[in-house]
């Protein structure tokens, strides 16, 4: 059971400032931190730390070897990541003021310039899973190829774009959305979606999985923790949920493990770097009794 993840890889540059700069203003940052981000990389790290084989399909520029090293250290198979000359690695410039308010500039770079033959690097088969999010090119082509090989496709509709979702939906098995994305999805397509299942996460209110073919649904409350940074919580949840399904867990078990992983993740700063491993998640669940 391999998880393939057609996913974005971003470098997050985080600058703390007293206030956000106005147009025309230049300001010294109080601090700077660099981290691994991108919804794709976050989900790959989460699923790999959950103990599932993960092959990441993506691209980055020719510098920044540390990104590959960090993904590999998390247990991600990086053989499906191509290096593109003359293309910037995807990145986010994140400005955070003293009150925690932020302004973000995102540049897709290599994530949006994936070579057309990239999906061929995946040896899709029945029992495998393909994860995708809306931060790369080649979504429809890769999803169609996976489905024709009997591989289920889990799609995170984030950042939410109606047209991207409309294009990929015929190839999606399970749609993963947060509360706001769920509302937008239902407004556009109704609740009776032509897919196998729907995963909705609702922050501190928990998550639910609807089996749209069997008609059953399960709700998983969030675990109560002191959250310090919820960046990447949804990716942690999606990665762990996918890992659970790939391991043959039933939906309620996969939901419970994903909720525990996300609860641990939000107690730490960072996104990809904050994903817990299986031992940490099992220890957390044991401590919950």
Q: Which residues are catalytic?
A: 235
Distance in angstroms (rounded) separating the CA atoms of residues 37 and 231: 9
Q: Which is nearer to ligand ADP, 15 or 223 (CB)?
A: 223
Q: Using CB under 6 A, count the residues that bind ligand ADP.
A: 19
Contact characters 119-158, ligand ADP, x per CB under 6 A: ----------------------------------------
The alpha carbon dihedral of 190, 150, 277, 75 has a sign of negative
At 222 the three-state DSSP class reads: coil
Q: Which stretch binds ligand ADP (CB under 6 A): 16-24, 42-50, 116-124, 197-205?
A: 197-205
285 binds ligand ADP (CB under 6 A): no
118 binds ligand ADP (CB under 6 A): no
Site for ligand ADP in 221-240 (CB under 6 A): 222-223, 225, 227, 230, 233-234, 237
178 binds ligand ADP (CB under 6 A): yes
206 binds ligand ADP (CB under 6 A): yes
252 binds ligand ADP (CB under 6 A): no
Q: Which stretch binds ligand ADP (CB under 6 A): 15-23, 81-89, 120-128, 258-266?
A: 258-266
Bridge partners (DSSP) of residue 50 are none
Distance in angstroms (rounded) separating the CA atoms of residues 47 and 40: 11
Residue 228 near residue 209 (C-beta atoms within 8 A):
no
At 156 the three-state DSSP class reads: strand
Site for ligand ADP in 259-278 (CB under 6 A): 259, 262-263, 266
- Report CA Rg, the chain: 18
Q: What is the 3-state secondary structure (H, E, C) of 204-217?
A: HHCEEEEECCCCCE
251 binds ligand ADP (CB under 6 A): no
Residues near 172 by Cβ (< 8 Å), separated by ≥ 6? 143, 153, 154, 155, 195
Helices and strands in the chain, H and E counts: 8, 14
93 binds ligand ADP (CB under 6 A): no
Q: Which residues bind ligand ADP (CB under 6 A)?
A: 178, 201-204, 206-207, 222-223, 225, 227, 230, 233-234, 237, 259, 262-263, 266
């Amino acid at each position: 059971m391999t998880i393939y993840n057609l996913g974005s890889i971003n470098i997050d540059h985080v600058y703390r400032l007293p206030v956000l700069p106005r147009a025309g203003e230049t300001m010294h940052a109080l601090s700077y931190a660099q981290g691994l981000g991108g919804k794709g990389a976050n989900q790959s790290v989460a699923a790999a730390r959950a103990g599932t084989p993960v092959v990441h399909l993506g691209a980055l520029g020719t510098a920044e070897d540390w990104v590959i090293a960090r993904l590999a250290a998390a247990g991600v198979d990086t053989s499906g990541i191509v290096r593109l000359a003359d293309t910037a690695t995807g990145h986010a410039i994140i400005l955070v003021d003293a009150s925690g308010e932020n302004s973000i500039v995102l540049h897709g770079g290599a994530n949006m310039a994936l070579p057309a033959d990239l999906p061929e690097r995946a040896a899709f088969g029945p029992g495998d899973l393909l994860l995708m999010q809306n931060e790369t090119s080649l979504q429809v082509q890769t999803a169609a190829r996976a489905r024709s090989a009997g591989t289920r496709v889990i799609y995170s509709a984030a950042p939410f774009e109606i047209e991207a979702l409309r294009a990929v939906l015929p190839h999606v098995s399970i749609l993963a959305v947060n509360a706001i994305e769920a509302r937008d999805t239902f407004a556009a397509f109704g609740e009776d979606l032509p897919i196998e299942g729907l995963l909705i996460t609702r922050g501190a209110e928990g998550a639910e999985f609807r089996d749209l073919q069997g008609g059953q649904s399960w709700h998983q409350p969030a675990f109560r923790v002191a959250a310090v940074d919820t960046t990447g919580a949804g990716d942690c949840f999606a990665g762990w949920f996918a890992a659970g399904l790939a391991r043959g867990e039933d939906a309620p078990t996969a939901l419970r493990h994903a909720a525990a992983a996300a609860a641990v993740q939000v107690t730490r700063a960072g996104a990809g770097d904050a994903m817990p491993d299986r031992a940490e998640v099992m220890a957390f669940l044991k401590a919950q009794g």
